[in-house]
Amino acid sequence: MEPNDLDRLAEKVADLIVEARKVVVFTGAGVSTESGIPDFRSPDGIWSRFDPDDFTIQKFMSSRETRRMQWQMLAEGSLLKDVQPNQAHYAVAELERLGKVECVITQNIDNLHQKAGSSPERVFELHGNMKRVRCMSCDATFPTEDILPRLEKEEVPDCEFCHGILKPDAVFFGEALPQRTLNDSIHHSRHCDLFIVIGSTLVVYPAAYMPIYARETGAKLVIINIGSTPMDAEATVAVNAKAGETMARVMRMVRSQLST
């Protein structure tokens, strides 16, 4: 895409944001990859080194070996290394401060929206957060960084309170999405007037229903993603470009409009 074309599309997105009363932002892996976090499905992603069949909730709960492999993956740090938010994360946080973003619905599990300054209570994590660990028996939660040092002595750490199974607080295959988070996400999707998709191919359900709910109730739709999505034909504006670069341009135009 030529820079002039991107500027033209970014201006359209900025106009929609300025005109909107309630904006919901929906983010996927394309935002995280720009911070250096590998995609699960890409050729060099997580599943190129680990078998996804080993990460069903059923197998995790029944197999100590599967739990050992999960902790090994965490210890390698591919999902927990000290990555930083990128321009897209900071743009979304700034839009919240400007009173434009009602909430962020994310498929990502990396905590980068909060790190960029988005209010934690406005970030709905459909697939959980790898920065937390949850006990499957007593429901206690712990920062993952507090559990990782135990791996030097324990291949499979357990809960310090009840000795139950500890699990990263992310949604595994075969596991239901957190119901309250899902309900809140559906509510906000149905009550916004502008829904912005950033960095998602919209092929993972039920998360990908969110823009459908928004369109059903009359919201305008913006899609910013490298590659096409099943919802492109429904979009008021579809931008085939990187999330960070696009959102940086959008924000320059939003600031300009709001300052006049």
- pTM, to two decimals: 0.93
pLDDT band at 93; cut points 50, 70, 90: very high
Q: Is 242 helix (H, G, I), strand (E, B) or coil?
A: coil
Show the domains of the chain with their CATH numbers.
1-37+84-127+177-260 (3.40.50.1220), 38-82+129-170 (3.30.1600.10)
8 A C-beta contact, residue 144 and residue 131: yes
Of 127, 163, 187, 191, the active-site residue reads 127
pLDDT in tens, 21-62: 999 999 999 999 999 887 755 555 555 556 667 779 999 999
Our answer to whether residue 127 is catalytic in this structure is yes
pLDDT in tens, 107-141: 999 999 999 999 999 999 999 999 999 999 999 99
